Amino acid sequence: MTTQTDTGPDGVTEAPAEAPELAARRPLGWAPWLVLACVFAATALNYADRQSMALLKPLIDADLGWAQEDYGLVMTAFQAAGMLALVGAGWFIDRVGLRWGYPLAVAAWSLAAMAHAGARTTGQFLACRLALGVAEAANTPAAAKAVARWFPADRRSIAIGLMNAAPNVGAVATPLILPWLALEWGWHVTFFLTGAAGLIWLVAWFLLPARPRVQAVAAPVEDQAAWSWRRLLTDRHCWAVAGAKFLTDPVWWFMLLWMPDFFHQRFDLDMRHIGAPVATVYALATVGALLGGIVPARLLAAGVSPSRVRWIPMAASAVLVLPLPLALWADSPWPAVLLVGLVLAAHQGFSTNVFALAADAFPVRMVGTAIGVGAFCGNLGGVLILQATSWLSAHGGYHPLFIYCAVAYGLAFLLVRVLIPRVRVGEGA
């Protein structure tokens, strides 16, 4: 049997269609899926800690007398801290390694989340949120590195899709559990319990094997040595990932941190009624994350080129977000819930394939750093949109923000296609 390869204008060789069949002959065993389950749990807890402030905001407002600008300041500072820490976080995970770097980060953010229980002033919340943002920055590069290390390329999309579904599971469970806890026990106890859950995760992590039984195919030694910061920061794949994250991650952060307030302001939903709409939105987002991993894997198995395997779900996501501004004219919350849920489903499908671009294109030892650069740019966009939202929500409304969300993915898709006409695929140690 012969195989056919396509070489792009920059000398990048497309992987042959038979690659999934060859890779499928290498059994993975249970260990990679147990590692993925741990990554899934850590990411879900990560997003529960992030979302807690948005859900508990009405109770904190009543207790502390916060203005919209106070909340906006704390959340913008949180986003900025995570953004500034991301590049260093990716380097930290690559330098220290997953075995110890990941649990150190989880322990740090869990303690920071628990510290919110003792906060009484805006300044104290600001300090806790800054610590949380810095520690949580390590999760994204650590999770992506774990997938790149434990899963071969043909099964990586499904693993990344599952990884990307974890924030949605956390975001579905959090609005169902936290409001009930807060109404029964108060927001102080609620912060403490959500943070403490991360400490339980540490036990499970150290019960896992330290190394995968099936290793990725090693890259040539000279190629590994050539991957320096300078080469990374001049690589088109790196900037395609960074640019896509900068344009689209603000949509996720806007929805995560301001969507409960939007439903409260627009439809007068209180703490007892906000849980089901928010949970529905993130349940739909979970479906998008899973499809964002399953569809590329099926396309690759059908012989579609690695480039089109990424472009097809990304283009579909860009189309699905376009109706979002209609949510502003909805007469009841549920049409708006479905539109917002569709957008977050599209976001997760898009994001899964952006992460996969990095996992496919870079050696495993550089994946954490490359993802860190992309996540830094995504958080920079998040800082900008959160600051804009804190002002617009008090003075101008949500209209410009919803319009931006509707066009962001089309812009990101065009940017990626211009920077990398063909996807580079290769596995390295």
13 domain residue, yes or no = no
Give Cβ neighbours of residue 189 (< 8 Å, ≥ 6 apart).
117, 181
Estimate the share of the chain in helix, then strand, then coil, as percent rounded to the nearest 5. Answer: 80, 0, 20
23 domain residue, yes or no = no
Residue 58 three-state SS? helix
Cβ–Cβ < 8 Å for 102, 93: yes
Taking only the tens of pLDDT, the chain with its 429 residues reads 434 443 333 333 333 333 444 344 455 678 888 999 999 999 888 878 887 887 888 888 777 777 767 777 888 788 788 888 887 888 888 888 888 999 999 999 999 999 998 888 788 888 999 999 999 989 988 988 888 888 877 777 788 888 878 877 776 778 778 888 888 888 888 999 988 988 999 989 998 887 765 444 444 434 444 567 778 888 889 999 999 999 999 998 888 777 777 787 778 777 677 778 878 888 888 888 888 888 988 888 888 888 888 899 999 999 999 999 998 888 888 898 899 999 999 999 999 899 888 888 887 777 788 888 888 898 888 878 877 877 776 666 778 888 999 999 999 999 999 999 888 775 444
290 domain residue, yes or no = yes
16 domain residue, yes or no = no
CATH number at residue 44: 1.20.1250.20
Q: Given the structure tokens 């904190």, which residue do they identify?
A: 60
Rounded distance between C-alpha atoms, residue 74 and residue 134, angstroms: 14
Burial of 27 (0-12, 13-18, 19+ CB in 10 A): exposed
Residue 109: CA count within 13 A, CB half-sphere: 32
Rounded distance between C-alpha atoms, residue 227 and residue 97, angstroms: 17
309 domain residue, yes or no = yes
Burial of 425 (0-12, 13-18, 19+ CB in 10 A): buried
Both tokens of residue 206? Answer: 């150290």
Could you say which DSSP state residue 220 is in? P
Domain range enclosing 280: 29-419
Give the total number of structural domains in the chain. Answer: 1
427 domain residue, yes or no = no
6 domain residue, yes or no = no
Q: Given the structure tokens 């043909």, which residue do they identify?
A: 154
125 domain residue, yes or no = yes
